[in-house]
Amino acid sequence: MAAKIIDGKSLAAQLRHSLKTAVAALVARGVRPGLAAILAGDDPASRVYVRNKARACDDTGVHSEIHELPENVSERTLLERIARLNADRAVHGVLVQLPLPRHLDAHRVLDAVSPAKDVDGFHAANLGALVQGRPGFVPGTPAGVMRLIEHAGVDVAGRQAVIVGRSNIVGKPLALLLLQKDATVTICHSRTRDLAAVARQADVLIAAVGRPRLITASMVKPGACVIDVGINRLADGKLAGDVDFDAVKEIAGSITPVPGGVGPMTIAMLIANTVRAAELSIE
Ligand code: NAD
């Protein structure tokens, strides 16, 4: 039987709808949530992501600003801009779009964002809080993945969850969120031996690699919940995930499409974090 398609687009729309109400309540108290995005350089994909985030802000009534800096921006100029936004009372969330130009130290830049405005959840303090299970901002993509799994009606407690990809922004924080929900978690990466055999153990399989159609049907346990984080631009201009969707949907129990799965949820969770940052600023 073909898998249930997990519709991230409509789930994100529902979430944004409820966020509108939260924004209206804040505006009634004299605070409009604000998000500042810093775009350094001219990576075309980053430009699209930043524009989509600003559009989602408009849609929910959140103020947004895009700060464009040239590819050759100095670290000092970038850090000064972050410091200015940290001090700006109209801005509750500050994000630095990744990847940064190569001459910049991403750790130093991300740690310059005030943890209270770090709505991407990439500051060491917020990632550390996640490790310890303490309150903090959780990165949008892993948070969105958790919502999608829940929406699919899958309880991960005691089940095998396999994540393919060990990045700081997706794979590792997602492993911590799944652990918090009592899943048994395995993280695979480029040096994993026999990825297919490990992946086939998964009740919940998450692909976050950046290789089109790496996950084939023979790597999926029948009935598994498959979440595709990958966004890959093919030679013909079309988008593809890390999962061979057409073949895997015949085996899986539920599956996210690309586009229309994780992507919209990532943005909705970012807006949720911005609204939360604004609420915390007046609590
Ligand atoms: P990354 O590029 O930082 O790391 C890729 C990971 O994949 C590494 O941990 C590497 O070890 C692993 N890997 C590489 N080749 C492998 C192989 N053959 N087998 C197993 N593992 C392998 O990853 P990232 O920044 O987490 O991004 C991953 C993908 O997710 C990209 O396509 C990116 O565009 C996408 N992404 C999507 C969203 C979204 O909102 N949907 C957000 C972030 C990233």
User: How confident is the model over 143-165, as pLDDT tens digits?
Assistant: 999 999 999 999 999 999 999 99
Best mutation site among 6, 52, 170 for ligand 1 pocket (most ligand atoms within 8 Å of CB): 170
Task: State the fold for domain 31-116.
Answer: Rossmann fold (3.40.50)
CA 189/CA 193 separation, integer angstroms: 9
Mean pLDDT confidence for 254-271: 98
- 266 pocket-lining for ligand 1 (C-beta < 6 Å): yes
Q: Tell me, what's the pLDDT at 2?
A: 92
CA dihedral sign, ordered 59, 149, 157, 132:
negative
Instruction: Tell me the C-alpha distance between 262 and 255, whole Å.
Output: 11
Show Cβ contacts of residue 102 under 8 Å, excluding neighbours closer than 6 positions.
none
- Is domain 140-262 in CATH 3.40.50.720, yes or no? yes
pLDDT tens sequence across 199-248: 999 999 999 999 999 999 999 999 999 999 999 999 999 999 999 999 99
- Residues 79-129 have pLDDT tens digits of 999 999 999 999 999 999 999 999 999 999 999 999 999 999 999 999 999
Model pLDDT, residue 177: 98
Would you kindly state where each structural domain of the chain is located, as residue ranges? 31-116, 140-262
Q: Is 192 in the pocket of ligand 1 (CB under 6 A)?
A: yes
Q: Report which DSSP code applies to 215.
A: B
Q: How far apart are CA 96 and CA 83, in angstroms?
A: 12
Q: Is the pLDDT of residue 271 over 80?
A: yes
Which residues 6+ apart lie within 8 Å of 137 measured at CB? 115, 118, 119, 120, 121, 123, 126, 273, 276, 277
Helix (H, G, I), strand (E, B) or coil at 5: strand
Give the separation between CA 47 and CA 180, rounded to whole angstroms. 34
Structure tokens at 137: 């901002």
Question: Which residues are bridge partners to 162 per DSSP?
Answer: 186, 205
**For position 75, what pLDDT does the model report?**
98
Same fold, 31-116 and 140-262: yes
172-188: per-residue pLDDT in tens? 999 999 999 999 999 99
Q: What tens digit of pLDDT does each residue of 54-82 get?
A: 999 999 999 999 999 999 999 999 999 99
Active site residues: 53, 97, 120
10 vs 274: CA distance, rounded Å: 20
**Full 3-state SS string of 160-200:** EEEEECCCCCCHHHHHHHHHHCCCEEEEECCCCCCHHHHHC
Each residue's pLDDT tens digit, 7-44: 999 999 999 999 999 999 999 999 999 999 999 999 99
Spacing, Cα 93 to ligand 1 middle (Å): 25
Residue 185 is predicted with a pLDDT of 99
Task: Please check the confidence at residue 1 and state whether its pLDDT lies above 90.
Answer: no
Q: Please give the distance, rounded to the nearest whole angstrom, from the Cα atom of residue 98 to the centre of ligand 1.
A: 13
